């Protein structure tokens, strides 16, 4: 009955559900492999994945959810996640929606039959994670999820429903967890302020797994200020929801300017909000061969900054190990020192060279976000670059 309802509401959902574009007609690229049997699949989704050649055991898994009218092949081709998987060595799972489930191929982020623990599409994604872990000996402590638009809304729902599965998430032009439970509510969520307090938003998320005591997933939120499909208020509401889930203030602990007119606002290393000036609805990409570039432009893949790269850094994928420490991306102005370089300088000099940043008069190392004390010319620390743009305190080691 639900499938027929969506077919009959095609005209409504075209205006309501996120990401309207052109669906891919070509078969998936040869390196994007379908797994036809992956266990329980109550949501009737398809599983595709990309595995770097010779992937070692104990590596992370990233689940990447496409937007409406898109496919796994679209997200594979444009998002930049496969090239990052090659660079940083992890598995990427690309769930795919069908028109049988939703006439516009949207993940049903607004349906309790699909976006709650143990049910529908959410349960199917969990089965895909289990299959990837079993097939490649992946690290269950380093499983992440990200998605665009309807995929972003489902990402938020998955983080709330399965906080014991996902260590962190990246939500691109998405919506707060459990914002809507119907098509009508979905329209309202996409376009309007819901006038809920952070505590009320947190309650919606925490109610999805009663009794869960943590830890809760860290969350990176991406939002264009010119998005008139999923309005910018959703970025603010997501910030409110997940800071409150973590029990941290909605007052920023630091801010940074990044490429593409992007402002990164950090909240106690638990939540990051990336606001992209003037960008419309889509996943931000930055084609090129630079260390912070990735992806390619296409329908709802918009040039400016590679969100997948910065989200991957936030996940800690660039470091090879660990998931819970912060990963602040490098600022626009960065040092030209090669990885392994150790530099001793004042806090002021470190920030001027792009090795650190300051917030509220305090200094923090870029990448590790380790506290360095007052931002002045008198406080001196040594920093070592362990990977491009990632600096750690190295006092007494230079």
Instruction: Report the catalytic residues.
Output: 149
Angle ∠(320,324,326) on CA atoms, nearest 5: 85
The total number of residues shown for the chain amounts to 398
- The candidate with the shortest Cα–Cα distance to 169, out of 189, 193, 151, 191, is 151
Is there a contact between 356 and 327 (Cβ–Cβ < 8 Å)? Answer: no
User: Which residues are CB-contacts of 210 (< 8 A; sequence separation ≥ 6)?
Assistant: none
- The candidate with the shortest Cα–Cα distance to 82, out of 72, 91, 69, 70, is 91
Distance CA 49, CA 57 (A): 16
Angle ∠(72,44,42) on CA atoms, nearest 5: 130
| End-to-end Cα, the chain, rounded Å | 67
Distance CA 329, CA 100 (A): 40
């Amino acid at each position: 009955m639900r499938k027929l309802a969506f077919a009959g509401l095609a005209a409504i959902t075209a205006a309501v559900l996120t990401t309207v574009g052109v669906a891919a007609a070509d078969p998936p690229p040869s390196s994007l492999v379908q797994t036809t049997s992956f266990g329980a699949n109550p949501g009737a989704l398809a599983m595709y994945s990309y595995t770097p050649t010779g992937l070692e055991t104990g590596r992370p898994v990233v689940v990447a959810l496409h937007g409406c009218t898109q496919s796994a092949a679209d997200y594979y081709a444009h998002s930049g996640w496969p090239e990052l998987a090659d660079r940083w060595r992890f598995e990427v799972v690309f769930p795919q929606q069908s028109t049988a489930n939703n006439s516009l191929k949207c993940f049903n982020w607004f349906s309790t039959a699909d976006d709650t623990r143990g049910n529908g599409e959410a349960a199917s994604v969990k089965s895909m994670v289990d299959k990837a872990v079993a097939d490649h000996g992946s690290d269950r402590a380093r499983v992440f999820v990200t998605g665009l638009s309807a995929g972003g809304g489902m990402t938020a729902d998955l983080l709330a429903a399965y906080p014991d599965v996902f260590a962190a998430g990246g939500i691109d032009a998405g919506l707060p967890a459990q914002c809507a439970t119907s098509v009508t509510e979905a329209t309202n969520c996409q376009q309007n302020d819901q006038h809920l307090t952070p505590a009320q938003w947190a309650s919606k998320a925490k109610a999805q797994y009663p009794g869960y005591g943590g830890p809760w997933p860290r969350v990176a939120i991406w939002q264009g200020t010119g998005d008139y499909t999923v309005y910018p208020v959703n970025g603010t509401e997501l910030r409110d929801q997940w800071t409150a889930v973590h029990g941290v203030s909605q007052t920023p602990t630091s801010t940074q300017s990044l490429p593409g007119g992007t402002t990164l606002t950090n909240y106690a290393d638990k939540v990051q909000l990336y606001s992209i000036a003037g960008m419309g609805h889509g996943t931000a990409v930055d084609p090129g061969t630079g260390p912070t570039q990735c992806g390619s432009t296409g329908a709802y893949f918009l040039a400016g900054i590679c969100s997948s790269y910065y989200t991957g850094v936030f996940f800690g994928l660039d470091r090879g190990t660990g998931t819970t420490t912060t990963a602040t991306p490098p600022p626009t102005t960065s040092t030209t020192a090669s990885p392994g370089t150790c530099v001793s300088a004042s806090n002021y000099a470190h920030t001027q060279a792009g090795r650190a940043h300051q917030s509220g008069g305090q200094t923090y190392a870029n990448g590790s976000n380790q506290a360095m004390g007052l931002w002045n010319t008198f406080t001196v620390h040594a920093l070592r670059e362990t990977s491009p743009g990632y600096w750690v305190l190295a006092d007494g080691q230079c």
